[in-house]
Structure 1
Amino acid sequence: MHIFMFRGINLSEKFAKGWEDGRSGQPLTERIKSAVKPPGPLKPRLNMAVRRLDMQIQKLDQASDRFSKRDKSIFARIVDAYTKHDMARANVFASELAEIRKMEKMIMHGRLALEQIVLRLRTVSELGDVVSTLGPAVNVLRAVKTGMANVFPEADRELGQIGDLLSGIIMEAGQNSGFSVNFETANEDAQKIMAEASAIAEQKIKEKFPELPAGIPSVSLGEQSPTGTS
């Protein structure tokens, strides 16, 4: 994460204008030039970020429900093929189920990570807390965004905008408080959040869905995650 500081220019308004007008695709220099008015109090913008993250969590829940229904349907077909001793057909369905469950893990991983960010944002009360809390939050958002890019383009765009919103808040809070982001600590905290979310997601997937019948290749969940790593 890079935070750009220019003397005499309040960059947080640059981000705010981009969210309101849908002009976030403008070149950086043009968005800086448009930074004229102060963006207002930090708390309402933190609350806005929380609301937008809650909406993304709800959308991920809806997507998870759709994949769960598909999972049950494919699993039933595997069992049917297996009972009829049609192993070739069962293996084809097992491969499809493996891809579905990787997607389900990715969704759950992203959801759990976003949930942790929301919990942290709701506990912020001081400017110093804003800087120390939002640094890891922005890194987590970027990791989740990367994982969602090819699957949920709308989530990719929205998470990018929320990340910009939080980056603007970090800059203003840093200017007002004198605190600055410790990038090493922020990265470590973000990695811990993502690792914990990944472990919980994999365990929940194993608990939620039944195992395949004996003789069918097992379903691997380790190839897809919001960070692009297992």
Structure 2
Amino acid sequence: MIQWNRSGNETSLSQRVIDKVRPEAPIKNKIDDAQRKLQIQITKLNTIHGNLQKKHDFVFDKIVTAKRSNNETYAKAYAIELNQIRKMRGMIGGAKIAMEQIQIRLNTVSELGDVVITLSPAMSVIKGLGTSLSAIMPEANAYMQDLSNMLGDVMKDSTINGNNSLALNDASNSETLSILEEAHKIIEGQTKSSIPEIPSDLKEEEVLKRETFI
């Protein structure tokens, strides 16, 4: 009977593949730093989104009260204000989703590798987020630029290239690009929001200028 002996240097095929594509320690540390930076921004967006929801509910109640009192002037003023709050709430929600998607991709890189293929589609999204959020979060642009530079370093320092990485199939890569592009369009306001419109009876030709309630 033949007895098979495994030497200490022998490893399974699957383990060799994982070892080949898993990011090296310095790259993994950079990915971890990027994840922490993203989480900070996601937490901030969560807080802002919650505050906007509270303001939304408060202003909507004001509209209802004004309508009950037949005070159309106040109702229109609050309706205009509510419309701005809804737009910002939608933008913040879209930015949060985009960041969470990027965070998932970073987790994928950290566990399996495929650095270039996984991170490349996210770079333009990150840059777009900084520009879109700068009006609400002045520090966001600097944070996103820092994150973009950090991920750029990860891609540059990665030893994974087209010849030795596990390439995604065309369908998978296309779906990745589609998801990230969808998130980017949400941030840029290129897609329709599911936010309900202000009641038509509150829309008049006169536009009341009020300070944005933020």
User: TM-score of the superposition, structure 1-length normalised?
Assistant: 0.64
SS at match of 2:201: coil
Q: Distance in 2 between matches of 1:189 and 1:202?
A: 16
Q: What is aligned with 1:178?
A: 161
Q: Distance in 2 between matches of 1:98 and 1:217?
A: 11
Using a 3 Å threshold, how does the CA distance of structure 1 residues 56 and 73 change in structure 2: closer, same or farther?
Answer: same
Q: Distance in 1 between matches of 2:86 and 2:135?
A: 16
**Aligned-pair CA distance for 1:188:** 6.0
1:80 to 65, 71, 94: 65
1:145 to 124, 127, 130: 130
Q: What is aligned with 2:203?
A: 217
Superposed CA RMSD in Å reads 3.1
CA contact 1:108–1:201 (8 Å) conserved in 2 = no
Q: Which runs of 5+ in 2 are unaligned?
A: 1-24, 164-173, 205-214
Q: What is aligned with 1:24?
A: none
SS at match of 1:153: coil
**Aligned-pair CA distance for 1:212:** 5.2
CA contact 1:79–1:213 (8 Å) conserved in 2 = no
Q: Distance in 2 between matches of 1:194 and 1:69?
A: 26
**Aligned-pair CA distance for 1:43:** 0.6
**Aligned-pair CA distance for 1:155:** 1.9
Q: Distance in 2 between matches of 1:90 and 1:139?
A: 41
Q: Distance in 1 between matches of 2:186 and 2:49?
A: 19
Q: Distance in 1 between matches of 2:41 and 2:56?
A: 22
Q: Distance in 2 between matches of 1:138 and 1:164?
A: 9
Give runs of aligned pairs for residues 85-104 of structure 1, distance below 5 A.
Answer: 85-104=70-89
The answer as to 2:37 corresponding to 1:47 is no
**Aligned-pair CA distance for 1:60:** 0.2
2:150 to 162, 165, 168: 165
Give runs of aligned pairs for residues 31-46 of structure 1, distance below 5 A.
Answer: 41-46=26-31
SS at match of 2:70: coil
Q: Which runs of 5+ in 1 are unaligned?
A: 1-39, 219-230
Q: Distance in 1 between matches of 2:64 and 2:112?
A: 56
Q: Distance in 1 between matches of 2:35 and 2:200?
A: 45
Q: What is aligned with 1:29?
A: none
SS at match of 2:64: helix
CA contact 1:139–1:187 (8 Å) conserved in 2 = no
**Aligned-pair CA distance for 1:139:** 1.0
Give runs of aligned pairs for residues 191-206 of structure 1, distance below 5 A.
Answer: 191-195=181-185, 202-203=193-194, 205-206=195-196
Q: Distance in 2 between matches of 1:51 and 1:200?
A: 29
Using a 3 Å threshold, how does the CA distance of structure 1 residues 158 and 97 change in structure 2: closer, same or farther?
Answer: same
**Aligned-pair CA distance for 1:199:** 9.7
SS at match of 2:103: helix
**Aligned-pair CA distance for 1:195:** 4.1
Where do 4+ consecutive residues of structure 1 move more than 3 Å? Answer: 185-190, 195-203, 211-214
- 2:138 partner amino acid: P
SS at match of 2:203: coil
Q: Distance in 1 between matches of 2:64 and 2:186?
A: 33
Q: What is aligned with 2:140?
A: 155
**Aligned-pair CA distance for 1:97:** 0.6
- 1:202 partner amino acid: S
